[in-house]
Amino acid sequence: MALADAEGLGAVTVRRLAAALGVTPMALYWHVATKDDLVAALADRVLDAVRVPEETGDWEEDLRAALLALVAALRPHPQLAPLVADRLLEHPGGLALSEAALRCLAAAGHGPQPAGYLASQALRTAITAVTGDRPAGADDPAGAQEHEARLRRQQAALAALPPDRYPALVAHAAEVARCTGTDAHVALAVDVFVTGVRGAAARGAVGAGPTAP
């Protein structure tokens, strides 16, 4: 996990991990059969941190709390967050969180098909909210400085656009360049999702979502 946090998931190979641990690659195969097993274990370790909140009976607050619980588990390891999608329904914490979310969506008035779709969308919302949190190498001062320099360049490029053609982008250059990563951004992403669930239910859009094969 430390290797993925510092350098990204691409740096996590059996050979690289063996070198970091001071053992031969073959020694690791006594513990994991393939790299896929190693990656699955990383996702499971992230999901170990999920703390499913107690239900209050208010579906909006309960759905918001469930999403924030998933975000809290993902935020320390944004490089690993996308892996969770494949393991959520294989992990006890992921199963409990999914159960809670589906109960909330049913209480909001959504039938099984749109509830399933919205539950999947909730996972995407959580992953998207954190994947921009910290870049690979953020724990390294040089990596953090490089990331900050890239953000400044992006902000400057947006601010330098022709204001007659892109007035909104010029006015929001700083906000667009730094559109993820803070508690406020995460809270807003979760709130937008919960508000959308409420709005869809209020419109009677309970048949929304992809058609089952």
Statement to judge: residues 116 and 30 lie in one domain: yes
Is 207 inside any structural domain? no
Confidence of residue 213 (pLDDT cuts 50, 70, 90): very low
Is 107 inside any structural domain? yes
Is 212 inside any structural domain? no
Confidence of residue 54 (pLDDT cuts 50, 70, 90): very high
Statement to judge: residues 160 and 125 lie in one domain: no
* Least confident stretch, 31-45, 93-107, 126-140, 170-184: 126-140
Pick from 52-61, 151-160, 204-213 the range whose average pLDDT is largest: 52-61
> What pLDDT does residue 142 have?
61
Statement to judge: residues 75 and 126 lie in one domain: yes
> What pLDDT does residue 174 have?
85
> Across the chain, what does the average pLDDT equal?
86
CATH number at residue 74: 1.10.357.10
Statement to judge: residues 24 and 56 lie in one domain: yes
Query: Residue 200 has what DSSP assignment?
Result: H
**pLDDT over 90 (residue 68):** yes
| Structural domain of 115 | 2-133+180-202
Statement to judge: residues 113 and 145 lie in one domain: no
Percentage of the chain exceeding pLDDT 70:
88
Statement to judge: residues 115 and 154 lie in one domain: no
Read off the tokens for 69.
């619980």
Statement to judge: residues 8 and 46 lie in one domain: yes
Q: Is the pTM of this model over 0.75?
A: yes
Span 86-97, average pLDDT: 94
Read off the tokens for 154.
């992006």
**pLDDT over 60 (residue 207):** no
Span 164-182, average pLDDT: 83
Statement to judge: residues 74 and 161 lie in one domain: no
In terms of C-beta density within 10 A (0-12 exposed, 13-18 middle, 19 or more buried), how is residue 97 classed?
A: buried
With CA atoms as reference, report the closest residue to 147 among 158, 134, 159, 160: 134
> What pLDDT does residue 40 have?
92
Is 211 inside any structural domain? no
Residue carrying structure tokens 């656009």: 161
The residues, any chain, with a CB within 8 Å of residue 145's CB and separated by 6 or more, are: none
Statement to judge: residues 114 and 138 lie in one domain: no
Span 95-101, average pLDDT: 95
Statement to judge: residues 152 and 116 lie in one domain: no
Span 34-50, average pLDDT: 92
Is 210 inside any structural domain? no
Number of domains observed in the structure of the chain: 2
Statement to judge: residues 9 and 82 lie in one domain: yes
Residue carrying structure tokens 């999403």: 67
> What pLDDT does residue 116 have?
93
> What pLDDT does residue 176 have?
80
Query: Alpha-carbon distance 131 to 46, whole Å?
Result: 14
